[in-house]
Structure 1
């Protein structure tokens, strides 16, 4: 490595596991475009995974959301509604 920029480029390429061992990019414009693409792909990948898990969790916890909503105005609940909440919480 001949410069700090080369060392920085090598570390980014290694950290993103892109490699570029067979076709090294030498121009700054090429490196900038590749850097944007590397960061963008990693961001989209991790964002997609996070969205998947967060979306799944919300679907499974519909009962919990219902209970929270009902408890937010518990003073207005009838005895039957209160009993229903108790049954749901015991499940």
Structure 2
């Protein structure tokens, strides 16, 4: 894609506003879930903010699709993050990740090596996904019969053990939707762990190969 294309210009102009929208979305969602004593007006306001930001993400998604000139399904498959942001609320905080790419670029070139960028993106995605996943599961598990997740701290502990693929089993979701969310987080945890492990292994191999090539003959 050419840097001067309409889609590239749209992405450059909207990254920071969408980053701010993701922050507001996360704050409104966290307030709605964690603020137990929130008055009805506050809950309605949070719901309105969440709905308005979802509409904003949908509009951005449609504009990107139209500017790309691609067929619908090709665009959906080639822009997985944007698709997840629109379809699944759990992944909307991940809309912050593309801004990291903008920050790490200088004069059109990445400031970090590919391996470092993959590890950085995976780490940032893990934190955002863990926090939003803990919120989503806690919202479903709170007050459910037989629930072992009693506090948000329990939810954070569960999210950490789930994303790290450890799975101690001391805290498990008991609701249907909670288990569905847990399944998605387990899959995401495996993908993120694989990305970090693969990138680190590749970096080690390249480092050892480069040092071997630089070693003087006969040493």
Query: TM-score scaled to structure 2, two decimals?
Result: 0.21
Q: Which has the larger radius of gyration?
A: 1
Query: TM-score scaled to structure 1, two decimals?
Result: 0.45
